[in-house]
Amino acid sequence: MLSKPMTVTETADYLRLSENYTYRLLERGRIPGFKVGGGWRVNVAVLNEWMVDGVMRMDLLRRWYGRKGKKDPAWKNFVVKGVR
Protein backbone atom coordinates (compact mmCIF):
# COMPACT_ATOMS: atom_id res chain seq x y z
CA MET A 1 0.00 0.00 0.00
CA LEU A 2 1.34 3.42 -0.94
CA SER A 3 1.61 6.04 1.74
CA LYS A 4 0.20 9.53 1.39
CA PRO A 5 2.91 12.10 0.65
CA MET A 6 3.74 14.43 3.53
CA THR A 7 3.56 18.21 3.38
CA VAL A 8 6.49 20.39 4.40
CA THR A 9 4.97 20.87 7.85
CA GLU A 10 4.56 17.11 8.34
CA THR A 11 8.06 16.47 7.00
CA ALA A 12 9.54 19.09 9.34
CA ASP A 13 7.77 17.47 12.30
CA TYR A 14 8.90 14.01 11.17
CA LEU A 15 12.55 15.12 10.89
CA ARG A 16 12.32 17.45 13.92
CA LEU A 17 13.43 20.45 11.87
CA SER A 18 11.95 23.90 11.39
CA GLU A 19 9.68 24.43 8.39
CA ASN A 20 11.99 27.10 6.94
CA TYR A 21 15.01 24.82 7.11
CA THR A 22 13.00 21.95 5.59
CA TYR A 23 11.98 24.23 2.69
CA ARG A 24 15.62 25.16 2.12
CA LEU A 25 16.71 21.52 2.12
CA LEU A 26 13.99 20.60 -0.38
CA GLU A 27 14.77 23.52 -2.68
CA ARG A 28 18.48 22.64 -2.68
CA GLY A 29 17.75 18.95 -3.37
CA ARG A 30 19.17 17.78 -0.03
CA ILE A 31 15.92 15.99 0.87
CA PRO A 32 14.10 13.90 -1.75
CA GLY A 33 10.79 15.55 -2.61
CA PHE A 34 8.59 16.75 -5.44
CA LYS A 35 6.40 19.74 -6.16
CA VAL A 36 2.63 19.54 -6.49
CA GLY A 37 1.08 22.82 -7.52
CA GLY A 38 3.13 25.35 -5.60
CA GLY A 39 3.93 23.16 -2.59
CA TRP A 40 6.43 20.46 -1.78
CA ARG A 41 5.54 16.85 -0.97
CA VAL A 42 7.76 14.12 0.45
CA ASN A 43 7.11 10.38 0.24
CA VAL A 44 7.73 8.72 3.63
CA ALA A 45 9.15 5.49 2.17
CA VAL A 46 11.59 7.38 -0.08
CA LEU A 47 12.62 9.64 2.81
CA ASN A 48 13.27 6.66 5.09
CA GLU A 49 15.32 4.92 2.40
CA TRP A 50 17.27 8.14 1.82
CA MET A 51 18.04 8.43 5.55
CA VAL A 52 19.23 4.80 5.80
CA ASP A 53 21.41 5.32 2.72
CA GLY A 54 22.89 8.44 4.32
CA VAL A 55 23.74 6.57 7.51
CA MET A 56 25.42 3.84 5.48
CA ARG A 57 27.45 6.47 3.55
CA MET A 58 28.57 8.10 6.78
CA ASP A 59 29.70 4.73 8.13
CA LEU A 60 31.64 4.09 4.91
CA LEU A 61 33.23 7.55 5.11
CA ARG A 62 34.22 7.03 8.74
CA ARG A 63 35.84 3.71 7.87
CA TRP A 64 37.59 5.21 4.83
CA TYR A 65 38.71 8.29 6.74
CA GLY A 66 40.00 6.23 9.65
CA ARG A 67 41.90 3.87 7.37
CA LYS A 68 43.38 6.39 4.96
CA GLY A 69 44.04 9.33 7.23
CA LYS A 70 43.29 12.98 6.71
CA LYS A 71 46.39 13.83 4.68
CA ASP A 72 45.99 11.02 2.14
CA PRO A 73 45.25 12.56 -1.31
CA ALA A 74 42.91 9.65 -2.10
CA TRP A 75 40.50 11.10 0.48
CA LYS A 76 39.90 14.12 -1.79
CA ASN A 77 38.76 11.82 -4.61
CA PHE A 78 36.23 10.05 -2.39
CA VAL A 79 33.22 12.39 -2.52
CA VAL A 80 29.67 11.53 -1.63
CA LYS A 81 27.09 14.15 -2.58
CA GLY A 82 26.38 16.36 0.39
CA VAL A 83 28.84 14.60 2.70
CA ARG A 84 32.50 15.38 3.15
Q: Is the pLDDT of residue 74 over 60?
A: no
pLDDT tens digits, residue range 25-52? 999 888 899 999 999 999 999 988 888 8
**Domain count of the chain?**
1
Taking the CA atoms of 82, 11, 32 and 46 in sequence, report the sign of the dihedral they define: positive
Q: Range of 20's domain?
A: 8-70
Asked if residue 21 is part of any domain, the answer here is yes
Q: Global pTM?
A: 0.65
Asked if residue 77 is part of any domain, the answer here is no
- Going by the DSSP 8-state scheme, the letter that residue 83 receives in this structure is B
Asked if residue 42 is part of any domain, the answer here is yes
Asked if residue 34 is part of any domain, the answer here is yes
Measured CA to CA, the distance from residue 48 to residue 52 in angstroms comes to 6
pLDDT at 83: 47
Asked if residue 50 is part of any domain, the answer here is yes
Asked if residue 45 is part of any domain, the answer here is yes
Measured CA to CA, the distance from residue 42 to residue 44 in angstroms comes to 6
Band of residue 7 on the pLDDT scale cut at 50, 70, 90: very high
pLDDT tens digits, residue range 50-73? 888 876 676 666 666 665 555 555
Asked if residue 13 is part of any domain, the answer here is yes
